[in-house]
Structure 1
Amino acid sequence: MPSAGSELHKLDRTDRRILDALQRNGALNNQQLAEEVGLSPSPCLRRVRALEEAGIIMERVTVLDHKKLGLALTAIILIGMDRHTPERFEEFQRQVAQYPEIQECYLITGQDADYMLKVVVPDMDHYHQFLLNQITRIPGVSGVHSSFVLRRVIDTTALPLKYLESGG
């Protein structure tokens, strides 16, 4: 069942092939994409535009190698809040949205935490400064638990398209 504010869109096999190809390589131009999915360029472009207009394709990005850029430390931070009020959560979210070190922020349940952050920094010294000077200074933060990534076992942005309804 779709969540509030979302709509499920029926996709046929060609739409799924387009999405799969673009997830693997968002830099494909329309000609390359059309060849890969077995369409002529005009219908391929129409389908991509329809997927964009439907909000299924949200954006295309370039994934960078963090280690080659000197960002060798990835931390997962669990954050506990002192009060569970909309105002407290909104302020926290507004503040963390300003920090480029944070790649992902989730409001979570099932843990002794309210938020989970994925943070990327050069090293432990930078992490320590980021934690003390930014995260712990956000009003309402009452607990912080850090874990550090030893190895990326799976690191993908691709969604599992196999769960989409089969169509034409």
Structure 2
Amino acid sequence: MSLKYAVLAALLEGEASGYQLSKGFDVSLANFWPATPQQLYRELERLAGDGLIRARVVRQERRPDKRMFTLTEAGREDLRTFAAAPTRRPTAVRDELLIKIQALDGADPAATRELIEERRTWARGRLERYERMRDRMLDGRGEDAYLRESDRVGPYLTLLRGIAFERENLHWCERVLTVLDRRAARAGRG
């Protein structure tokens, strides 16, 4: 999948500036498709050139003009075609930390512990942010009511995946730290 479809899907929410899309990626899509602002702006230009989105300039006083982007019918059709196409095999996990853990037997235990604690902190922060997003989306409704009544459930369902992913990251970090503690205790006795 390319950034193209992530941008088109984000524009299903309605017209947005590049800045708003960048913030939206940071908050909602980052749990499954991260992009830098530079990548996003390049993709917006490409999509506009391909006629899949439309850009309009909004004049602002005391601030630079901003461009607002919307999906065109061609963009909606392209996104519908993409959404209906068979999915390629699932993406494999590519995580540098896992390579370091694979090699941990010859590494400094304190450094390894620090890496895991850093990942745990990162996962906690993202999980808290995702849970706040879920609460805002639900807006006091139960999940069943939201899923029944909401016009769009895709963003909520992908958010649930992000929540599950970060919960599993936390669980894994706790398990690794427990193993490291037990090994350190055993080495201290030996």
Q: TM-score, normalised by structure 1?
A: 0.29
Q: Whose strand proportion is higher, 1 or 2?
A: 1
Q: Whose helix proportion is higher, 1 or 2?
A: 2
Higher relative contact order (CA 8 A, sep 6+): 1
